[in-house]
A and B are shown apart, each in its own frame.
Chain A
Amino acid sequence: QKEVEQNSGPLSVPEGAIASLNCTYSDRGSQSFFWYRQYSGKSPELIMFIYSNGDKEDGRFTAQLNKASQYVSLLIRDSLPSDSATYLCAVKQKASGTYKYIFGTGTRLKVLA
């Protein structure tokens, strides 16, 4: 069974700090990686995706991918209380004729005002 692993947290950071969220995956053939934010009782909301090794920046968010180590991370700079949510790491896995997301359990982030 191909898995995606995340620390469930909670990860608590003070407002303005950098939050670092980590994810490992078991399928070495995976090529595309997605970070979703999920508020309690709501649907996942895409933050960003990354396909290539290295860093990808989008505003306060930076995704980092290391395929050799099968590791993907999300950095949130200048954390705000509104960033408090569960962050889901998702890996695309080949299905018959399409792809499906394999999600991790999510890391709960608390940004303290």
Chain B
Amino acid sequence: ETGVTQTPRHLVMGMTNKKSLKCEQHLGHNAMYWYKQSAKKPLELMFVYSLEERVENNSVPSRFSPECPNSSHLFLHLHTLQPEDSALYLCASSLGQGSGNTIYFGEGSWLTVV
């Protein structure tokens, strides 16, 4: 059981498709994150939202577009992806963005780009 829920758990999309990943946190947190986990690289921070405002965009290509409509929801909109974007995308949240705050992760969305 997790306080951070991600849907869908698995997604297969073509390079010309547009899809979205959804994340919802039930922990009363006010910071949310997208991380990318691929086989060949360590976990990479993609985006950070604090109080619904984007505070970090870690040099992510524009084909990834985040949206945070409120403090409980976070989306990652995907369009014209490349096969190398296939990975596990992890959403996370924390209470505040200060150092030392525990970040809680969802179970991830497995993305395959064909």
**Do A and B interact with each other, yes or no?**
no
